[in-house]
Amino acid sequence: MLSELHVKNFAILDEVSVEFGKGLNVLTGETGAGKSLLLGSVNAALGGKVSKDFLGSNGDYALAELLFDNDACVRDLLEKYELPESDMLVISRRITDTGRSVSRINGETVNASIVKEIASRLFDVHGQHDHQTLLYPAKQLALLDRYAGAEALEEAAAVRALARDYRAAKKELSDASEHGAARARELSMAQYEYDEIMAARLVAGEDDLLEERFRVLSNREKLTEACAEADSVLSTDATSVTTGIGRALRKLSKASSLDPKLESIYEELRLAEEQVGDIAARLSDYLSEITGTEAELNEVGERLDVINRLKSKYGRTIEAILAYAEEAERTIAKLSDFDGYVAALTEKVKKSEQALRNEAAKLTAIRKKAADELSAKVRASLSELNFLNSEFTVEFRELEEPGETGAEEAEFMISANPGEPLRPLAKIASGGELSRVMLALKTASSGKDEIETVFFDEIDAGISGRTAQKVAEKLATIAQTKQVICITHLPQIAAMADCHFEISKSAENGKTRTTLQKLTEDEVPRELARMLGGAEITDSVMANAREMRELARKKRDS
């Protein structure tokens, strides 16, 4: 449930905080006072489109913030997007004077798509023109699925997935059938590439070994000269290191017998002699191993050229080149047996279509059952909304081929007056009738979803008198199971409110300012009297307002 709305510097709303209650929350005020701006701020907070034009004159940013009293119904989404959990859920949107906006959930910055996904479980907004979406059959089908509940939504998701698979399989078959010449070229190219790679007889890791051997062969004269000179210095020269250490050891051997302190130095020098001897031996072995001819150098270079050429065409490593060859081999197998390939694709399309039709049939059965139930509830609600002897049904039209929305289209059909035939909703409904049909649908589906808060902006458009009273009673009915927030100009609806807020506009210091006040029970009749009587509120108008409030209270309580 929405517990609070906080708006700052949003057009003419300097700073407004509204603490909503349970049941029916009504907002009233003169035309232009800023009622619809509140809806605009709600839409902004919930990720709707907004521009810097909404920015007021009292700062370089605008803020819209919604507080919900718990996050139980979106806890899985908070966990999915690694957002903080809390006893309260806070959704906010900050819009700067540069047009940049930042959305946050429980203090964490998020993108608009996440806000909209989470908000879709918390809030249902119906603006002055939102009921126009009822005119589109696609929207009507989506509404029917939502009414049918979780089973329909799961089946609809399964149908969408199968329809995409079916469409992809058909496209693959069509492409295969239409591109015979291209197929021959593809086969020829794949065969050429495969043969070229296989002819090289590549071995994983051989390029590293060849490059190392190439470096040695290319520099063998320099390596031989350097190692021979080092060998001479270490062991073969008359003044070599080995000779010098040997003389030093003989001297220290005698001296250490005279002073024991020299024994450790003698031992370290003896170890050094062993190490130098070992190095000299390894160097001598290396000199004997440095072999190779110009022919071998050319051979290694040519092999590296082959590998590097293949790398430039098929992959940066030998492993990647061999993987490319495996893919080419699969392409050859597929295109070589093209008739078999097409037959397999045809069978795949057939199975995919059958799976789609089977799943779509399940969805159709769920929809038709739900449509009968929804139609009966809507007819009952329309009767209560002053549609006399109206008819309402959901008409299904089977598609030639199932698609992502299933095997049929659905359209709401209505007869608003006795003796009139059933016609599509778009053909007969006036603005006032559309508002009532939408309210009837909302009433019928009340309790079918997890959404706790519904916002109606001027649901009363185009209605008055007894019909207005019926609409008020219907809103009160919805408010028994959901929190309802309603912007209205009709006293019949305002009188039904559990919480009544008055929005007013005034000019102060050359600036227009909008304020919002929650009315006490004693203050409500005064606002109802204004709505009933206009500029002049007489005693009789006040008496009428008090009576209207009392009757509404009794009706609401019953």
How far is it, in rounded angstroms, from Cα 471 to Cα 474? 5
May I ask the CATH class of domain 1-122+453-517? alpha beta
Question: Which amino acid appears at position 335 of this protein?
Answer: L
**In whole angstroms, what is the distance from residue 307 CA to residue 304 CA?**
5
DSSP letter at 450 equals: S
- List Cα–Cα distances, 137 to 356, 375, 420, 443, 459, in angstroms: 22, 15, 21, 20, 22
Rounded to whole angstroms, how far apart are CA atoms 12 and 203? 75
Q: Where are the domains of the chain?
A: 1-122+453-517, 198-332
Model confidence pLDDT, tens digit, residues 62-95: 888 999 987 778 888 888 898 988 888 999 999 8
pLDDT digit string (tens) for 496-555? 999 999 988 877 776 777 788 899 999 999 999 988 876 678 888 999 999 999 998 888
Residue 47 Cα distances to 51, 101, 109, 477, angstroms? 12, 10, 12, 29
What pLDDT is stored for residue 437 in this prediction? 82
Query: What pLDDT was estimated at residue 53?
Result: 62
Give the pLDDT score at 494.
93
Q: In what order do the strands lie in the sheet with 406-415?
A: 391-403, 406-415, 423-424
Q: Provide the H-helix boundaries in 232-261.
A: 241-258
Closest CA to 256 of 245, 240, 269: 269
Question: Would you state the pLDDT for residue 431?
Answer: 64
Q: What sign does the CA torsion over 312, 315, 321, 325 have? A: negative
75 touches 85 (CB < 8 A)? yes
Give, as one character, the DSSP assignment of residue 36: H
Q: What is the pLDDT at residue 122?
A: 86
> Each residue of 13-38: b (16+ CB within 10 Å) or e?
bbebebebebbbbbbbbeeebbbbbb
User: CA-to-CA distance for 85 and 70, rounded, in angstroms?
Assistant: 10
DSSP, res 486:
E
- What is the pLDDT at residue 22? 92
CA distance 100 to 140: 35
What local confidence, expressed as pLDDT, does residue 190 receive? Answer: 92
Burial class (CB in 10 A: 0-12, 13-18, 19+), 107: exposed
If phi > 0 it is left, if psi is from -120 to 50 it is alpha, else beta; for residue 295 that is alpha
CA distance 17 to 518: 10
Q: Are 397 and 408 in contact (CB under 8 A)?
A: yes
Q: How many angstroms separate the CA atoms of 4 and 248, rounded?
A: 94
Half-sphere exposure of 416 (CA within 13 A, CB side): 14
> Which CB contacts under 8 angstroms, 24+ apart, belong to 307-310?
307/200, 307/202, 307/206, 307/207, 307/210, 310/196, 310/197, 310/200, 310/202
Which residues in the chain land under pLDDT 50? none
